[in-house]
Structure 1
Amino acid sequence: MSEEPVVRVRRPRAPRTAAAALVATAVLVLAGALLYDVVAVRAGQPARRWRAQLADELATRHLDDLWVLVGAGAAVLLGGWLLWLALAPGLRRWLPLRPYGGTTGAIDRAGIGHLLRDRAAGLTGIEELRIRVGRRRVRVRLVGAAEPSSVQRQLREELARVGLAGELRLDVRAARGRAAAGPGPEGVAA
């Protein structure tokens, strides 16, 4: 039996990461230039011409000046865009699949949860099932008389059929079901 060669697949990246990296780099460069000039002034050197000119402009211009309003509007637009980038959903909910024929794909973590729930629905002895799919681990909590090792084997087979690029750790925990808990206080099974 020949093993498939291991192919490294990268997680999908949202287009916003490039924009966020660009803005972070610009802020870092501007903050570094300003910090350098402040340290130079504290060390006894004269302030750079751009900083002195900017301080003079900020001190002499009125708030209703056109350039002040345009600068404030640009700052508000940039802040709104950065806020949208921070709050917009990314691609963390997608898990990459193994490449097939030169193409790559991804599957939603909720989709994997539904596949596992459908597979477990055919098993006997499961009264209640809760599945949480993370980026590296699947947590399954079941209530009932089903054997956890059997459930884990079945779910592991289903995960293997999906064809994920990276292996997910499967953690199956079981609690006793209502029927398996024994008779209630009145002597009748609850």
Structure 2
Amino acid sequence: GRLDDLQKLRKSLETLIHQVDALSGIASSFSTFAKMPLPKNELMNFKAVVTRVLDLFKNDEKVDLIFQDDSYTDTIPIMGDEKLFGRVVSNLIINGVQAVEEGKTPQIKVWLWMTEQAVFLEISDNGKGIPEELRDKIFIPNFSTKSTGSGLGLAIAKSGVETAGGKIWFETNFGKGTTFYLTFPIAT
């Protein structure tokens, strides 16, 4: 019933708040990249990470989250840092939600697909898009389009993803939205 829903919502909000706290804690403790702990590079299941992150958001009525899963498997083995990648994916979703102007429901599309060699995750929003003059700054440490936050989020994301042999990039349409792409080689 309604109470269950409320408890579910509270639980996912608490998890989210906990995550955001963890993120800002991480950001503030990284005054420089030099002090950054090296990401782990272990065999992990990328699909499990994505699913876990999506579970955090799926009870949020304020966000229209669409997950298109074309991976057709429960296990997507990659090398990397499970915690870090979980943060990267949730960060990209939160960024997408925050890119949407007031009064408009954020619609976040998450598309997971793979080839024999690689896995791809695309996260699209229906936000304002990234203005031209900011596009080449998105991954620079200490850059943030938001007034709060250290702006380390995407710089850390990029460095963690690239350490693991992956890539992260984006395409944006001003006024229409932005898509972030993540790809990792499949571990064999």
Alignment TM-score > 0.5, same fold: no
TM-score by length of 2: 0.30
Higher strand content, 1 or 2: 2
Q: Give the greater-gyration-radius structure (CA).
A: 1
